Structure 1
């Protein structure tokens, strides 16, 4: 892996649920300080780093990747000291059994566990019960009074997981979307653009693309490109070719559509041309469901040409999300080459 694994590890292991992306925001500011001509944060917490174009500065491109990860908010502390949770983002509650978590209080980070009853103590009804997030409890190992003194309603909860190399892949929590945030940061460090480029680290994507929708108004770019992960169903559990989306190791994914957007054909055609010209491995993505920040820019400030580049990722919205190292490199290369070749003269009208 030729990229900065230590930075990727730092980004993915840091904690930041929707609306509380502070720790990620600090890393983004640090990495872009001295790289951008202007660095600013808005009242929602979006970070925008602007690199002025050398030849055509009035033509503006926005590149977005979101900082937030799925997590939880404490909604109640029981008399016995257990925490009830409210989901921030889309969870499959089945994967929450027997997980370690961290509760982020105003004073400190507190370790906790989501337990799972021993199977030999459950009857058939309990074993067959469908898991729901509202049935999940966090065990702090404290009595009710101590838990109530330490934790407040509204505190955030994230899963614990290290980021590791596994063969040719990287695995950990919150690759969605920190691996694309990482790719955006690396591209920002490499480009020497003719046009002005705004690199936007957005907030609250996992709860409705809220940061990107606000930025679509504030920035009003001529062209927008979003970076996010996408589904890789290249695993034994998925045998039906109808469920195919992308495959790990086949390169950056150029998005044609997802559940929130149909990308501009002229934008995705140019992305393909750049990839072919620069000999960058790539594949095409048609994602049946799910949305990305791409949609946040498409029509918020009138009709805009939008495109998207995705990193294929297995096991999305779990603590063991996995992406291929070569695909990460290809995404950085494609975004860099696309931005460096944008002169503001390409016609994206249909």
Structure 2
């Protein structure tokens, strides 16, 4: 079984707890609990972003961010037959959703449902060839029509039902995007003591629908430096050429050079590299052709900011079986904590 230094039970709690964009209430409660134990003060803003601050000895401040929200759904309709139809919150590949269990979070409590998938031998050729879309899916909750309409309402939130487990040297489950990075900043917060600079550990909202929480928080915090953590693509599986892997599991934490939304500050990513090498932390570079993270949210608000990003290589993103290597998680926590411990506020990140 895998060997690792982190608190697996906390990771399980974070990943298995529900929290779609704009409705991160349950996960926010866990984050506040953890940050209150390890930071000097904790604040929540009007959008729901949570910030735990460790005061430094200088006015220089660093924001470290990971997002709380997971991709999910909102109920858009309950049919006359009692089936539930969905609207996506975040980017789903509808092909992977059929025959999956979900939790519908109603006012009276959570209700289990299953996304319907008729037997393949009963489908016509036209039905087999049709491209799946979220709007065409239905959730069967096992209730008659009248009871279903009394139980589920338009606007109820829906998340996938899945547990997080150890699998060889990996951990796998739902919502590793981005709870495994949220977990990493919480673990790093436990290690940072008496920093030279003020450190804001930020858990952001609504990343999956447009980096909205980080964009607002960049204005409110106005940090001198921002580091974002998110998962990144690891297509190191059959069917992909090596040049398309982006990152590889087990090769270390990933220092982002670019993605579809940001080009990180060269001086910041070089210092991340130097810290990794001096501390003996395994790392790799990330060049992501598309997609974006909270890094861009901080760069695009309240003036020019030096930004950097650390990513955890993850297979099968935006599914219920996202998988990461435990050694890469350890390396991410180690690099972030070491970077913050050695940040004096005197490094020149201007270009």
The correspondence for 1:41, drawn from 44, 58, 61, is: 44
| Pairing 1:19–2:41 present | no
Please give the residue correspondences for 1:133-148 in structure 2 after superposition, counting only pairs within 5 Å.
133-148=134-149
How far did residue 237 of structure 1 move?
2.6
C-alpha distance in structure 2 between counterparts of 1:226 and 1:336, whole Å: 13
Equivalent residue for 2:114? 113
Equivalent residue for 2:7? 4
Please give the residue correspondences for 1:1-350 in structure 2 after superposition, counting only pairs within 5 Å.
1-53=4-56, 55-56=57-58, 58-192=59-193, 193-238=195-240, 240-350=241-351
Asked if the contact 2:236–2:242 (Cα under 8 Å) also holds between the matched residues in 1, the reply is: no
C-alpha distance in structure 2 between counterparts of 1:259 and 1:235, whole Å: 22
What runs of 5+ residues in structure 2 fail to find an aligned partner?
Answer: none
Runs of 4+ in 1 over 6 A off after TM superposition: none
How far did residue 315 of structure 1 move?
0.2
C-alpha distance in structure 1 between counterparts of 2:281 and 2:107, whole Å: 46
Partner SS, residue 44 of structure 1: coil
How far did residue 37 of structure 1 move?
1.0
How far did residue 143 of structure 1 move?
1.6
Asked if the contact 2:14–2:183 (Cα under 8 Å) also holds between the matched residues in 1, the reply is: yes
Q: Deviations over 1:49-80 (max 9, x none)?
A: 01000x32x00000000000000000011111
Partner SS, residue 285 of structure 1: strand
Q: Deviations over 1:92-128 (max 9, x none)?
A: 0000010000000111000000011101111111111
C-alpha distance in structure 2 between counterparts of 1:160 and 1:322, whole Å: 16
Q: Deviations over 1:173-212 (max 9, x none)?
A: 0000000000000001101211000000000000000000
How far did residue 140 of structure 1 move?
0.8
| Number of corresponding residues | 347
Q: Deviations over 1:317-342 (max 9, x none)?
A: 00000000000000000000000000
Moved more, 26-35 or 331-340: 26-35
How far did residue 138 of structure 1 move?
0.5
Partner SS, residue 37 of structure 2: coil
How far did residue 265 of structure 1 move?
0.3
Normalised to the residue count of structure 1, the TM-score between the two structures is 0.98
